[in-house]
Amino acid sequence: MEEAKVKGFLFHYALDYVTRKWGNAGLEKLGVGGKTDYIYERWYSFDDFLDLLEKIELGWGDPETSHSYRIAFETMTSDIRWQTVFKGKDPRDLFLDTKYQNTEYVCGEFENWLDGPNNIVTKMVLWCMDWERAKLFAQFYHGQLSAVLKMTSRKGDIKMDHEEEEGAMVTYYRTVLED
């Protein structure tokens, strides 16, 4: 098994979110200096990223909202670069291609398939044995998928659920596209 790692720009996403929501006081509460602590294209430990997500969730816990989900969704949908990448694309093509994921993070196994003409299933098995921490990244990934769907201008719904399979936490994302 390869070392679980994420690119620095994911830390940028999280810290941008904290700054937008709570300003510099939020960064101080987390005990980080800001985005300059992380180089955009450098690889960092997956556990360090989970630590940051966990601090954000614990620091400003809201039972109605997953900050991990909001970090990914709000950052991607507000970034013009992502809007131009995904505009007008077919979500089926985007969700079925897992090559891009390995350029952002290497932290588990992803499998995607069509389950009917407008149904896409993504199966994610993380290499994290702590289920509560793994759920933070599952929420983050859910936010990314939802952002991509929104930017393609297609209507649909993405449901997420967790199951145990052979001692591992498996997350399924089931996307149903409207005609």
pLDDT, mean over the chain: 89
pLDDT of residue 11: 95
Cβ-contact 52, 63 below 8 angstroms = no
What is the pLDDT at residue 155?
A: 92
3-state helix, strand, coil in the chain (%, to 5): 50, 25, 25
pLDDT tens-digit readout, 140-168:
999 999 999 999 999 999 999 998 888 78
Average pLDDT over residues 119-137: 90
> What domains does the chain contain, in order, with CATH numbers?
5-177 (3.90.1520.10)
- DSSP conformation class of 68: H
Tokens describing residue 139: 């929420």
Share of the chain above pLDDT 90, in %: 49
Report which residue type is found at 71.
Answer: I
> Among 3-7, 12-16, 35-39, which stretch is predicted with the lowest mean pLDDT?
35-39
Task: Kindly tell me if the per-residue pLDDT of 64 is higher than 70.
Answer: no
Q: Tens digit of pLDDT for each residue in 88-106? A: 899 888 888 777 777 888 8
Residue 92 to residue 95: CA distance in whole angstroms: 5
Question: In this structure, are residues 18 and 27 in contact, taking their beta carbons and an 8 Å threshold?
Answer: yes
